Structure 1
Amino acid sequence: MTTALVGLSHSPLIGKNDPDPDKLARIDAAVKNARAFVRKFDPELVVLYAPDHYNGFFYKEMPPFCLATEAHAIGDFGSQAGPLSVDSAAARSLAQSTLDRGIDLTVSARMIVDHGFVQPLEVLFGGIDRVPVVPIFINGVATPLGPLHRIRSFGTAIGESIAALDKRVLFIASGGLSHDPPVPTLDGAPPRVADALIEGHAPTPEQRAKGEERVLQAGRDYAAGIATMIPINPTWDNHVLDTFENADLAAIDDWTVQWMGTEGGGSAHEVRTWIAAYASLAATGKYRTLSRFYEPVPEWIAGFAVTTAVEDEHR
């Protein structure tokens, strides 16, 4: 068994509301580097940790994390739609082994996923059907949110369970870092919105287009400095990245839900996908960071990061 990791921020505004050419070129170079890293590693299996944005998971049932044995992408914001190439046998094996380790894992036999899952597969592999994958949802939006040590314990259990598969496994974290996009909240929502957040009624094409345009306009306003959303926080983002690079994962247990939201914005808890992925990698042995890139990108309403890491051969 050999393991590696890519951490990759996502945004539905990529390609629709881009930053200046120089910044975009730096981002493209970092992504190209990650793509080359993945190509060289040549994974036999990808374990993909990603959030949802009220497209697949709703308040009617909202697990803190959920592993899929089958998954289908809805194609929001122009992302690819259709079935993911889920390795169902590996998914079932990981689920059972994780449950055996005392983690109360939810399993979905028909998970619905959105751009949070699709973008890293498109960016790193060219599509959602190019590599066997085990998709794992991590709730980073819907409150109440549990303590961070539970996410680290979950990621550790997945990492420990990987050994039985005897494959080259790439862990991918999709999301983060600091960002405060216009994601609806249940508290104080009008009845129609609350019902949609609870029941998960599929929007009409017109409603989806209207919602996506609202996000695009928010990105324009944010970049222009006229939005009321919490600003991107590069200091906090780099503190988070330092924690991963230094493999100081135990320090995460002291992070609080309130602190993360205050410092990083309403969707900063997408960092939970990174915590799970790095905990999985650390569970297979000591690791070292190969590359780290970060840029605040107001046009994408995101602190945007790309990292790569591998097992430390000197461990």
Structure 2
Amino acid sequence: MPLAVCCVSHSPLLELPGPGPELLDEVGGALDRARDFVREFDPELVVLFSPDHYNGFFYKLMPPFCLGTAATGIGDYGTYAGPLDVPEHEALGLASALLDAGIDIATSAEMEVDHGTVQPLQRLFGDATARPVIPIFVNSVATPLGPLRRVRALGTAVGRHLATLERRVLVIGSGGLSHDPPVPRRATAPEPVLDRIVRGRPMTTEQRQARQSAVIDAARDFAAGDSALQPLNPDWDRAFLDLVDTGALAAVDDWDNDEITRTAGNSAHEVRTWVAAFSALAAQGSYRTDVRYYRPAPELIAGFAVRTARPADETNDDRSDE
């Protein structure tokens, strides 16, 4: 049955004070075009590849991949808090198919998801619960990280299973591109932070507010050029997007994780969600990307991109903003 892809960067700063109106209008326009694409496709099911920022997954047990058979948004950075509409039977069927295909997928019957999962649902549908969704966590932050070829294998296996369903399925990848926001790292985090990212101790309301304020301050300093955060890398971003647009996904199989970090930042590994999503589509044949948007956006501490795609023989050409 029909399959389509929409990959989008996410940023908590889209929901917070700080970014200027010109940037928000431009990014909002690109997201609106993606939303139009999604509305026209009218998916009956969504499969969403997304990272986590130590809100639902912690070092006490950090799988490379995990599929949720039920999921709840935690409501960080002004996003939706509450249960998502996860079809348990179909989620379990996908998990079984992935295991049969040799993908060591973990499952969670109580997955907690943050803005990385919820924001694209809200932006593309207006409501995080508007469509049934199967969330798939792809570890993109907590080291050590597995090889990208396993992410591509995950996406390929997902796409092959989705081809057997009698439903229109939208595959979303959420994250990227080059960016190095102030996400804690196990090697350097102080003990109170370790208590959260290792043991999963819940944050208090005051702690969440303090983190939100710190992100706003970090973005302001980064945009002003007064920050120790690693700069964005538009050349790396555009090279990655070229691989996506041309279908040359196998090129990532030999990418070195340490080199990605050095070149594009600690959180650039979120492009794993894009690799998985486009690999799912590529499993059904050649494709073409439609909506194309990219902007290095220091105010969002991110190389911000949007891509939509369908199989090559079904796609209308709507390439813009690059």
SS for the counterpart of 1:86 is coil
Q: Distance in 1 between matches of 2:152 and 2:166?
A: 23
SS for the counterpart of 1:150 is helix
Runs of 4+ in 1 over 2 A off after TM superposition: 15-26, 188-192
Deviation at 1:37, TM superposition (A): 0.4
C-alpha contact (below 8 Å) 2:51/2:270 kept by paired residues: yes
Q: Which residue is 2:122 aligned to?
A: 122
Task: Indicate yes or no: 2:261 matched with 1:261.
Answer: yes
C-alpha contact (below 8 Å) 2:15/2:77 kept by paired residues: no
Deviation at 1:23, TM superposition (A): 3.3
Q: Deviations over 1:282-311 (max 9, x none)?
A: 112211111210011111101000111001
Q: Which residue is 1:171 aligned to?
A: 171
- Structure 2 counterpart of 1:290, which letter? D
Alpha carbons of structure 1 residues 178 and 222: separation in structure 2 relative to 1, 3 Å: same
Q: Which residue is 1:310 aligned to?
A: 310
SS for the counterpart of 1:182 is coil
Task: Indicate yes or no: 2:32 matched with 1:27.
Answer: no
C-alpha contact (below 8 Å) 2:159/2:281 kept by paired residues: yes
Alpha carbons of structure 1 residues 283 and 300: separation in structure 2 relative to 1, 3 Å: same
Q: Which residue is 1:226 aligned to?
A: 226
Task: Indicate yes or no: 2:250 matched with 1:246.
Answer: no
Q: Distance in 1 between matches of 2:314 and 2:166?
A: 20
- Structure 1 counterpart of 2:7, which letter? G
C-alpha contact (below 8 Å) 1:55/1:113 kept by paired residues: yes
Q: Distance in 1 between matches of 2:205 and 2:212?
A: 11
- Structure 2 counterpart of 1:28, which letter? G
Q: Which residue is 2:318 aligned to?
A: none
Q: Deviations over 1:106-146 (max 9, x none)?
A: 01111000000010000000111100110010111000011
C-alpha contact (below 8 Å) 1:17/1:299 kept by paired residues: no
Q: Quick check: 255-264 or 12-21, which moved more?
A: 12-21
Deviation at 1:196, TM superposition (A): 1.7
SS for the counterpart of 1:279 is helix
Q: Deviations over 1:5-46 (max 9, x none)?
A: 001000001142454433333222211110100000000110
C-alpha contact (below 8 Å) 2:18/2:299 kept by paired residues: yes
Q: Which residue is 2:182 aligned to?
A: 182
SS for the counterpart of 1:173 is strand
SS for the counterpart of 1:229 is coil
Q: Which residue is 1:294 aligned to?
A: 294
Q: Which residue is 2:52 aligned to?
A: 52
SS for the counterpart of 1:216 is helix
SS for the counterpart of 1:73 is strand
- Structure 2 counterpart of 1:108, which letter? S
Q: Which residue is 1:215 aligned to?
A: 215
SS for the counterpart of 1:313 is helix
Q: Distance in 1 between matches of 2:89 and 2:10?
A: 28
Q: Which residue is 1:41 aligned to?
A: 41
Alpha carbons of structure 1 residues 261 and 164: separation in structure 2 relative to 1, 3 Å: same
Task: Indicate yes or no: 2:211 matched with 1:198.
Answer: no
- Structure 2 counterpart of 1:213, which letter? S
Q: Deviations over 1:206-227 (max 9, x none)?
A: 1111111111110111111101
SS for the counterpart of 2:229 is coil
Q: Which residue is 1:138 aligned to?
A: 138
Normalising to structure 1: TM-score of the pair? 0.97
For residues 148-167 of structure 1, what are the structure 2 equivalents within 5 Å? Answer: 148-167=148-167
Q: Quick check: 305-314 or 187-196, which moved more?
A: 187-196
C-alpha contact (below 8 Å) 1:180/1:230 kept by paired residues: yes
C-alpha contact (below 8 Å) 2:233/2:264 kept by paired residues: yes
Q: Deviations over 1:239-296 (max 9, x none)?
A: 0100000000111112110121111101000110001001111112211111210011
Normalising to structure 2: TM-score of the pair? 0.95
Alignment RMSD (CA, Å): 1.3
C-alpha contact (below 8 Å) 2:179/2:232 kept by paired residues: yes
Deviation at 1:314, TM superposition (A): 7.6
SS for the counterpart of 2:164 is helix
SS for the counterpart of 2:163 is helix
C-alpha contact (below 8 Å) 2:14/2:24 kept by paired residues: no
Q: Which residue is 2:10 aligned to?
A: 10
- Structure 1 counterpart of 2:307, which letter? T
Q: Distance in 1 between matches of 2:43 and 2:152?
A: 23
Alpha carbons of structure 1 residues 305 and 190: separation in structure 2 relative to 1, 3 Å: same
Task: Indicate yes or no: 2:282 matched with 1:282.
Answer: yes
Q: Distance in 2 between matches of 1:24 and 1:195?
A: 35
